[in-house]
Each structure stands twice: as structure tokens, then as C-alpha cells.
Amino acid sequence: MFAFFLLILLIGAAVGYANFNSITTGIIMAAIIAAIYMGIMVLNSTKVVMGLNKGKEITSKEQYPMLWNVVEELSLIAKIPMPKIYIIDDPSPNAFAAGNSPETASVAATTGILEKLNREELEGVMAHEVSHIRNYDIRLSTIALALTAAIALLANIGTRMMWFGGGRRSSNSKNDNGSSAIMLVISIILMILAPLAATLVQLALSRNREYLADASAVELTRNPQGLISALNKISQSEPMKSADPSSAALYIENPLKKETKDSLFSTHPATEKRIARLEAM
């Protein structure tokens, strides 16, 4: 998160220097855009995510009694309010959590996970999702996504202004000394590379929190084998049909099955590494 805020400041400074001849103006603009993006996404994340993934809320234990009981028991153990439960009609086994605090949280499970996992495995998966809620991982992920989008917007604004008019610095170009020219080049490079850097930081944060949620799940269930078995089944399943690509990082395993193992652009750690850590606990 520190890296994200540092990137926001750097890209704001670069845009301000290159286009307004004022680093302060750029930083203020960056702070305003970041605050707006974070506010919008934090306030609306749960409804948006569930809508994008076609989740339907269940309102009584009779609809899916095993899932309801598992979530209820784990919530008591984790000492958080019981989250709302959603079902996604998809044969591929998977699950995710949403919500920026335990009081507003939700968990979603596919019909495939209820058909293919036994109770022990389902407990491992739901303990992982409840751990995300207890650890405020969804809030962190939402803020990271908002900051990534804000950085991309700032970079786009800065490069377009440079392209279509050069900003205020173009009018002063004749008076620039060597150091000013170097600073301008650095600013342009920052505007070009910042969106990529932000994406890499966001994905690294996502992978780190998956490891933490795995460990926290074992803390809740005292049974690493349930989660190990569930991860094996989920990783070997077919891709989901209902998953929204922008929500892929929220799922316990990437639902699209397209990422390269151990890649810097992976939303999740390699399943083999997650299982190896669980077996060592």
C-alpha cells in the first residue's frame, strides 16, 4: 500500500511538472482523483461485484443448509458477523468474498463447489473467505484496484496533454536548462511506466493476501488437509463461465485458468506453492 501511495505521488508530480510546470498542482490533482476513485469503489464494491458475477443471495438455511451452517460456524469462530451468502450458477468449483468490513461482507460460492466438495473441503474454502473478511483483505484489494485505475487515468491525462499541446512546459522549453530537460524526460517515462508498475504492485498484494488467508483458514479450522484437498480439486477444474474478468483476483483460485504459474502478472500464487506452505504448517 505504501508503494501505491508513492506511485500516486510520483505520477502526480510527473504530470504536474510536464504539463503545468508545477509539481504541487500535479500532486493535488492526483490526490483528488485517487480519493474519488477510492470513495466510489469502497461504497459500491459489494453490489457491483455480485452483479458482475451473477450472484443471487440466499436468505434461509433451507436453501443450502450445509453451506449456511459452515459459514455460520466459521463466523462464530472468527468472531465476525455472519456475512450474506450468494450462489453463482456455474459448474466450476470456486468462491470469493466481498465487502469492505465484516459488517457489510458477503461470500459467494458456485453451484459447482457445492456439488464437488465434501464438507471438510467446503469448510477449508469458506474459512479462507471468512479470513479475507476478518483480515480486511477485500478493503485492501478494493483500494489497490481504485489506485491502479487512478494511476492509469492520471498517466492518460498527462500523456494526452503532452501530445495535444505540451502543457505549460512547452512554452518554456527555450528557457529550459539541461537539468530541466532531464526532469521532463523522467516525467514522461514515469507517465508511461506507472500504470504497469501499479498493476504489478496490485497483483503482488493480491498474491500476498492469498497466502495470509490460507494460513488464517487453518487457524480457524485446525485442519490444513481440507483446504489442501479443495485447492487440488479447484485448480484441476474447468474455467468458470459466469466469472467477470475484473473480479478474478477475488476468487480463491483464478476462475479463468489463463495465467502463467509464478508470473508477475498472476492474481494468485501457484497452487503447488500454496499447498506446500499448508503442508508445512
Binding residues: 128, 132, 210
Q: Are 169 and 17 in contact (CB under 8 A)?
A: yes
Angle between helices 65-78 and 178-221 (to 10 degrees): 110
Strand pairing partners for 98?
A: 106
DSSP string, 116-177: H--HHHHHHHHHHHHHHHHTTHHHHHHHHHHHHHHHHHHHHHHHHHHHHT-TGGGGGGGG--
Q: Which three cell numbers stand for residue 266?
A: 498472476
The yes-or-no answer on residue 123 being catalytic is no
Q: Which residues contact 25 (CB under 8 A, 6 or more apart)?
A: 16
Nearest residue to 104 (alpha-carbon basis) of 82, 87, 79: 82
Which residues are within 8 A (CB) of 191 and not within 5 positions of it... i.e. 6 or more apart? 11, 14, 15, 18, 154, 155, 158, 159, 162
Catalytic-labelled residue, pool 129, 219, 238, 272: 129
Active site amino acids: 129
